[in-house]
Amino acid sequence: MRTGESTGTVIKVKSVRGPPDFALVWSDMTQLPGDSGGPWYTPGPTVVGMSSSTDDGNEPGGVQGSQAQPIDPVIDMIRANPTVWGNDFKVWLVQ
């Protein structure tokens, strides 16, 4: 559904090592159906999360508030079992 970009402010972070769904980043950004899996990034750009879900509510055109999985646990999960993602799948990080 989304075209272009949405902006918002991170309002809370729950960071834990382990499965990515145990860690969350909350934002005041409105997320629409189809946004799941999209990147959350800062200027630079630096990817900080992967869009996953929304808060309860009934805002026109979407739900106010959303969550993402922090990108580090997602990368850790992929690296721990890369064959699940295909033999040629690689994670590239630019320092």
pLDDT at 59: 47
If one counts the domains in the chain, the total is 1
pLDDT per 10-residue tile (average), the chain, 95 residues:
72 69 80 83 85 65 72 80 74 66
CATH number at 60 reads 2.40.10
Q: Is residue 5 part of a domain?
A: no
Q: Let me know: does 30 contact 2? Beta carbons within 8 Å.
A: no
* 94 inside domain: no
Contact (CB, 8 A) for 28 and 11 = yes
**93 found inside a domain:** no
Range of the domain at 57: 10-85
pLDDT for residue 57: 53
Cis preceding-peptide flag for 43 (omega within 30 of 0) = no
Is position 95 within any domain? no
- Does residue 1 belong to any structural domain of this protein? no
User: Is there a domain that residue 38 lies in?
Assistant: yes
Residue 4 located in a structural domain: no
Which pLDDT score is estimated for 67?
A: 86
